[in-house]
Structure 1
Amino acid sequence: MSTSPILAIQTGGTIDKDYPRGTNAFGFEIGDSAVRSILEAKNITIPFGHSTVCRKDSQQISQQDRLALSEICKCAEQKKIIITHGTDTMIETAAFLARQNLDKTIILTGSFLPNTFKNSDAEFNIGVAIGAVQCIVENDVFVAMNGRVFRWDQVTRDETGQFMAQL
C-alpha cells in the first residue's frame, strides 16, 4: 500500500528560486522544493512523497532530464503526481511526458515569481495543482497555471506569457 497518495517532483524553475547565499551575488539559485515548504507552512495534512530530478532553469532542462523525470513518474507507486517546473518549457515537458503513456495523473505547475517573494503566485498555483490532481480521474498530463488546468495538448501561452487554452 502507498504511504502517500501524491508525489511532488521538483525540477527547478522560478518557483524554487532563492536568493544567492554568497556576497556580491546578483543571480538566483534553485533552492529547496517550494511544494515542501508551502505544505509545511500552511499545515497541509495530505501525505506527500517528495523527489527531486534536477534543480535547473527550465531553459536548461535537457532530454536526459526529461527521461529521468519520466522514469521517476513511471516507477513511482503514486498514481497522482505534481511536478514543479519552470514556465518557459513547461508545455514541452508536459507533451514529452504525455507521449510516454505513463498511466498516471500528472500535473505540471510553476510560478512567475519565486515562492520566496511576497507577491508570488507559487502558493496559488500549487493549491490549484493539489486540488486538481485529487479531482481528475483521467490518467493524462495537465498544466495548472493562472488559476486554470489545461490538458497538455490544449494549452499555449499568449504574448504576455500567460497560459491559456489553445484555440
Structure 2
Amino acid sequence: MARVFAAKENGAVADVLVLTTGGTIDKLYFDALSTYQIGESVVDRVLKTARVTLSYRIAEVMRKDSLELTDDDRALIARTVADAPEQRIIITHGTDTMAQTAQALGSTAGKTIVLVGALSPARFAESDATFNLGMAFATAQVAASGIWIAMNGTVFDGLRVRKDRAANAFVAVE
C-alpha cells in the first residue's frame, strides 16, 4: 500500500504531492433545486480505493469554484508549488479556468505539474473524476518537467490548451 505522508516526515518527501483547490471534482449537490458547495476533497478516498502504491501527500490550498479564482489565488497556488519539496505535483482544479492557472504556473522550472479536474463531481456514480485522477498520477510519473493538463483520456501541454465550452472538452492550441 502507498505510504501516505501527512506532512514532511523525518525529512522524507512523498513521490507525489496532490494540491486540492476545489472545482467540480469535489462539489456536493444536495438536491436538484439547491446550489452546490465544494466539500472536503475526495482525493484520498479515491486513491485508497484505487490502491495507489506510490507515496503521496495531500494538501488543501483552497476550496473554490475555478470561476471564482483570482490572480492572488493563482499566485498562492504557484507559491505553494514552488515551495513544495516534491518534484511531481498534481493539482485538482475546476475546469473552467484550469488553462489560466496552467499559464500562471508557466515559469515554474524543474517540476512536473499536472492539473486535473472533472466534468462531473467525484461523488457521482458516472463521474470522470476517478479516471482523470488516475491519468494525472500516471502523467506525473512519466512526463518531463513542465505544466500538463490530464483530462478525459488526453494529456495536454498545459501552456497550449484551452477549454472549448461548447464541446465541454479541452483542445490543444498552436
TM over 0.5: yes
Provide the rounded CA distance (Å) in 2 between the counterparts of 1:47 and 1:96. 27
Q: 1:40-51 to 2 correspondence within 5 Å? A: 40-51=48-59
Q: Give the C-alpha shift of residue 37 in structure 1.
A: 1.6
Q: Give the C-alpha shift of residue 165 in structure 1.
A: 1.8
Residue of structure 1 aligned with 2:121, choices 114, 124, 138: 114
Q: Could you say which residue in structure 1 is the equivalent of 2:3?
A: none
- Does structure 2 retain, via aligned residues, the 8 Å contact 1:115–1:123? yes
* Residues 34, 24 of structure 1: alpha-carbon distance in 2 compared, 3 angstrom cutoff: closer
Matched, 1:59 2:67: yes
Q: Give the C-alpha shift of residue 114 in structure 1.
A: 0.2
Residue of structure 2 aligned with 1:154, choices 118, 143, 160: 160
Residue of structure 2 aligned with 1:36, choices 36, 44, 65: 44
Q: 1:119-134 to 2 correspondence within 5 Å? A: 119-134=126-141
Q: Which runs of 4+ in 1 moved over 3 A?
A: none
Provide the rounded CA distance (Å) in 2 between the counterparts of 1:24 and 1:38. 25
Q: Could you say which residue in structure 2 is the equivalent of 1:88?
A: 96
Q: Could you say which residue in structure 2 is the equivalent of 1:78?
A: 86
What TM-score comes out, normalization by structure 2 length? 0.87
Task: Give CA-to-partner distance per residue, 1:68-107, whole Å, 9 cap, x none.
Answer: 1111101111000000000000000001111x32421100
Tell me which amino acid in the other structure corresponds to 1:57: D
Q: Give the C-alpha shift of residue 44 in structure 1.
A: 1.6
- Structure 2: 5+ residue runs without aligned partners? 1-10
Which has the larger share of helix? 1
- Does structure 2 retain, via aligned residues, the 8 Å contact 1:109–1:125? yes
Residue of structure 2 aligned with 1:144, choices 139, 150, 161: 150
Q: Secondary structure at the match of 1:77?
A: coil
Task: Give CA-to-partner distance per residue, 1:33-87, whole Å, 9 cap, x none.
Answer: 2321201222222211111111000000111111111111011110000000000
What TM-score comes out, normalization by structure 1 length? 0.91
Residue of structure 2 aligned with 1:19, choices 3, 6, 29: 29
Bigger shift: residues 52-61 or 101-110: 101-110
Q: Percent identity?
A: 37
Matched, 1:7 2:7: no
Provide the rounded CA distance (Å) in 1 between the counterparts of 2:39 and 2:69. 16
Give me the CA root mean square deviation.
1.8
Q: Could you say which residue in structure 1 is the equivalent of 2:8?
A: none
Q: Give the C-alpha shift of residue 135 in structure 1.
A: 0.4
Bigger shift: residues 37-46 or 63-72: 37-46
